[in-house]
Structure 1
Amino acid sequence: MRITHQYHLRPTSQQIASFQMWLELCRRQYNYRLAERFNWWEQNRCDVNRCSIISCSIAPLKDKPDYYSQKRDLINCKALFPEYKELPSNTLQDVVARVEKTFHRWLKGDSNGKKSGRPRFKGKGRYRSLSFPNPIKPEHIQGKFIQLPKIGKVKMILHRPIPDGFKIKTATITHKADGWYISLSLEDVTVPSLKTDATPTSDNTVGIDMGLKSFLVTSDDQEVEIPQHYRKAEKKLKRLQRQLSRKIKGSNRRKKAIKRVARVHLKVANQRKDFHYKTALWLLSLGYKFIAYEDLNIKGLAKSRLAKSILDAAWGQFLGIVTLKAANAGGAGLPQNPRKSTIECSDCGAEVPKTLADRWHNCQCGASYDRDHNAARNIKYRAVGHPVLQSSVNVRRVAGSR
C-alpha cells in the first residue's frame, strides 16, 4: 500500500537560495534534454518510405536519445558545467526521467493509449519541484527536522506523524505561492492492495447527480450546496490583477503583485480540494461502499458557456477523490452512461421530455421527483439494476417459457 503525506517546510534563507539554484539548473537540464529529443525527431522523421534503386541520398539515421543514453551523458554535463556537481545525482537523473515520460506520452501515449500534447519548454520559474528518489531512512527525521542530501537538516512542520510500518520511498520538494512543501511517498509492503469481493446492491450503493444548481444530489434525495470558491474570490482577484497590470514589467513591485495573485489562486484551490475530500468522506459515512456517478465528458462541457462554473466545481477532481476513498473503504466508484438519465422516469422507465428550465419530474405513473433526484436514482439503478423493471422482465420470461 502506498500513500503520500505533504508537510510544510521552514527552510533558512541559505537553504532557499540553494533550492532556487537547483530548480534553475534542473530547468535548464530539462530544456536541453527535451531539445535533444526534438532534434532527433525532426531530423529522422520523413514521409518518404522508399528510396531509389540507383542512388539514395538519405543520410543515415542518428541514434535515438533515450533515458539511459541521456543519463550517461550527465557525466559530460558535470565536466563542462561544474555547478551541476552540487546537485544530488538522483535528482538530476529524475529530470531525464521526466523528459522520457512526457516525450513517450506525446508519441505513443500512456498505458491506456491516450496521448498527451506536445511537450513544452519550461520558462523561468516554471520548474517547481525537486525529487529525491533515494529512500529516506526513518533516522533522517529527527523531531522537527528532516535530513536531505547535500542540503542538511531542514525544519519541517510535522502536523501528523508518519504511520507505523511505512517506509519513506521518495521525497519531493515543491515550491508553491505560500512557501516550500515536501511530499513523502510512504509504502507498507505488509498491507495488500485493496480489492473488494463485494458486489454493488441497492443497499450498499448510492447514485449521485453532479450539477451547478447544487454540487450533487444523491439517490436518497440529500443535497450538497455548491460552494463556488472561485466566484467568491473573483472580486478580490479583479482588484489584485488590476494592480498587477499597472506595474512595470521586470520591477520588484510587479513580482510582489504576482505573488499576491498567486496566493489567492492557491487559497481557492486548497479550499476546493478540502471541500471535495470532506464531501467524499461524508458520502462514505452514510454507509455506502459503491458510488455510482455519471461518466461525463467534462473537457467538452468546459468548452461551453458554463465553462467558468464547471471548472470552479472541478467535478473531475472530486470524482477521482471519491473513487480513491471508496476503494480504500473496500468499495469502488461506478461510472455510468449519462444518456437520458434526466428524461427517463426512475419508477417506470418512461421518457418524459424536459427543457433546462423544467426542474421537476412528473410522470404518468405518478412519480414526482426533483429533476436531479430523478437523475440520481437512474444512475443508481443503472449500476445495480432496476428492481421494478427487472421483476417485470423476469415475469415475462417465465410466462414465455410456459
Structure 2
Amino acid sequence: MISAYQYRLRLTKAQESEIEKWLDMLRCQYNYLLADRFNWYEQNRCSINSCPLICNLPDLRNNPDYFSQKKTLPQLKKDRPWYKVVQSQVLQDCVKKVDLAFKRFLKGDSNGKRSGRPRFKGKNRYRSFTFPSLSKTPIDGNILTLPKFGKVKMIYHRPIPEGVKIKTATITRKADGYYVTLSVQDDSVPDIIPIDSASNPVGIDMGLKSFLVKSDGSEVPIPQYYRKAQKRLKKIQKAVSRSKKGSNNRKKAVSKLGKAHKKVADTRKDFHFKTAKGLLDDHDIIAHEKLNIKGLAKTRMAKSVLDAGWGQFLSILSNKAENAGLVTIAVNPRNTSQNCSNCGTKVLKRLKDRIHSCPKCGYTEDRDVNAAKNILKLAVGHPVSSKAFRVSEPVGGVGKKPTLNL
C-alpha cells in the first residue's frame, strides 16, 4: 500500500533561492510543452460538421505525446545550458504533468469525466516538483538527501516505519513555507477482517447540526472552523483589496491571507484525523452514506457543507481503515432518514422535523440516530423497507430524492 508522509523543510536562503529557480524553469518548460500540444491540436482538427474545401494544410507531424516530448529534453539542455542544474527525472516528471493534463482534457479520467482546458502557469502558479526515485536510505536523522539538489533539513516529527520503501519525494511551496511529501510503499498492511466476524460495527450519519451521529446515539459536535474565522479573514481580505496591485504591501497582505486560510484548513484536517482515529479505535466496521458532496456544494448550504469537509473526512477514514485492516462501507443514502429503523416503514418527514416517530410501531428516536441505524442495517445486508405509511396529516416539502440528512 502507498502512504504519504509530509514534513516541513528548514531551508537556508541559498536553498530557497535554488528551489524558486527550479520552479520557475519548470514552469516555463511546462508552458512550452503545453503550447506545443495546443498548436498541434488546433492545426490538425476541423469542425464537427464539415471542413472547408480550400484550406492551408500545416506541415504534417506526429501527435506530440509523453515519449516524443521527453526525447526533446537532451536538446533542451544543449540549447539552454542553465537547465542542466535541474535533475533529469524532475524534468521528465514535468513532461508527465503536461501529458496527464492534456489527456484529461481530451479523453477524461478513468471514469470518463473530462477536465477543463489546461491553463498556462503564471508566475507563482507552479508550486511543486517531484523526484521520482531516491536512494535506498535517503533519510539520516532529520536530513533528507535529494538527487542533484543535496541535503535538506526537515522537521522529522513523525518517524517512517522500518521496512518500508520510500518511492518519491515532492517539494511543495505553501503559504507558510516549503514542505516535502514522501510517498512510501508499505507491504505490512494487515488482512481485512471479514464482515461476519466484526465485533462492534457502527453506522454514522453525516450532518450540519452535528458533524456525525453514531447509531449508538452518541454524536460529534461540528466545529465550523471557517465560520469562526470569517471575521478575521474578512479583515485581511479588505487589506488585500485596498492595496495597489504589484506593490510590496499587497504581496505581504496576500501572504498573510494565505497563511490565515491555511490555518483554517490545517485545524479542520487535524479534527478529521482525530475523529477518524476515535472511530477506528472503537469499531471494526464503519458504515456511512455515499453522499453527492459536489452536488450539495452547489446549493444554498454550500458554505456549511464545504466547512464541514465531509469528502476529506471520509477519504481519511477510508485510508486509515485500510491501513488498520478495518472496513468502511458506503451505502445509498436514499430514504435512510425517512424509513423507520425498527419496523422498516417509510414515515415521511420534512427537513425541519428532527424527531422520528413511527405511527405504525410507535418507535420514537432522534432523526439522525434513526438514519444512522438504517445506514448500519444496509451495510450489514439487512433489507430496509420503503413502503410509505399513510398518515392523516398532510406532509409538505418532502423531496423525491432526499440526499442530505441534517
**Shift in alpha-carbon separation, 1:326–1:147, aligned structure 2, 3 A:** closer
Matched residue, 2:68: 69
Cα shift readout 1:175-218 (whole Å, capped 9, x = no counterpart): 111111111112245x3x65525125784421111110000001
Deviations 1:204-263 (A, max 9, x none): 421111110000001111100000011111111011111111111111111111110000
Residue in structure 2 matched with residue 396 of structure 1 by the alignment:
none
Residue 350, structure 1, aligned to residue 345, structure 2: yes
Matched with 1:393 is none
The Cα offsets for residues 300-335 of structure 1, whole Å up to 9 and x where unpaired, read as 110111111100111111111111122222232211
Q: CA separation of 1:369/1:33 partners in 2, compared to 1, >3 Å: closer, same or farther?
A: same
Match of 1:159? 157
| 1:14-59 CA-partner distances (Å, limit 9, x unpaired) | 110000111111111111111111222222222468889x999765
Measured against aligned partners, the alpha-carbon deviations of 1:100-131 in whole angstroms (never above 9, x if no partner) come to 11211222222233332222221211111121
Partner of 1:23: 23
* Runs of 4+ that moved beyond 6 A: 49-52, 54-57
Residue 385 of structure 1: how far off its partner (Å): 3.1
* Alpha-carbon separation, structure 2, partners of 1:2 and 1:320: 14
User: Conserved in 2, the CA contact under 8 Å of 1:207 and 1:218?
Assistant: yes
1:172-183 correspondence runs (5 A): 172-183=170-181
Q: TM-score, normalised by structure 2?
A: 0.89
Name the % identity: 56
Cα distance in 2 for residues equivalent to 1:55 and 1:31? 32
Rounded to whole Å, the distance in 1 between the matches of 2:48 and 2:235 is 56
Unaligned regions of 5+ residues in structure 1, if any?
390-402
CA distance in 2, matches of 1:300, 1:51: 39
Bigger mean CA offset, 101-110 vs 217-226: 101-110
Q: Which residue of 1 aligns with 2:297?
A: 302
In the other structure, the counterpart of 1:96 is 95
* Closer/same/farther in 2, CA of residues 50 and 136 from structure 1, 3 Å limit: same
The alpha-carbon distance between structure 1 residues 282 and 342, as it changes in their structure 2 partners (threshold 3 A), is same
* Counterpart residue number, 2:118: 119
Deviates more, 1:299-308 or 1:69-78: 69-78
The answer to whether the 8 Å contact 2:243/2:249 transfers is yes
Unaligned stretches of 5+ residues in structure 2:
386-406
Alignment of 1:90-239 (within 5 A): 90-138=89-137, 140-189=138-187, 191=188, 195-196=191-192, 198-199=194-195, 203-239=199-235
Contact 1:169 1:187 in 2 (8 A): yes
AA matched with 2:185: E
Partner of 1:316: 311
C-alpha distance 135-46 of structure 1, shift in aligned 2 (>3 A): same
The SS at the match of 1:153 is: strand
Q: 1:318 to 1:108 in 2, by over 3 A?
A: same
Distance 1:71 1:174, change over 3 A: same
Distance in 1 (CA, whole Å) between partners of 2:58 and 2:221 is 64
Matched pairs, number: 384
User: For the Cα contact (< 8 Å) 1:289–1:329, is it kept in 2?
Assistant: no
Q: Sort the Cα spacing of 1:145 and 1:221 in 2 relative to 1 into closer, same or farther, 3 A.
A: same
Q: Amino acid of the residue matched to residue 367 of structure 2?
A: R
1:265 is aligned to 2:264: no
1:136, distance to aligned residue in structure 2 (A): 2.9
**Distance in 2 of aligned mates of 1:225 and 1:186:** 34
- For 1:248, what is the secondary structure of its paired residue? coil
What letter is aligned with 1:105? R
Q: Which residue of 1 aligns with 2:333?
A: 338
Cα displacement (A) at 1:344 = 0.9
Measure, in 1, the Cα distance between the counterparts of 2:231 and 2:54: 69
Q: Report the CA distance between 1:388 and its aligned residue.
A: 9.2
CA gap of 1:68–1:230, structure 2 versus 1, over 3 A, is same
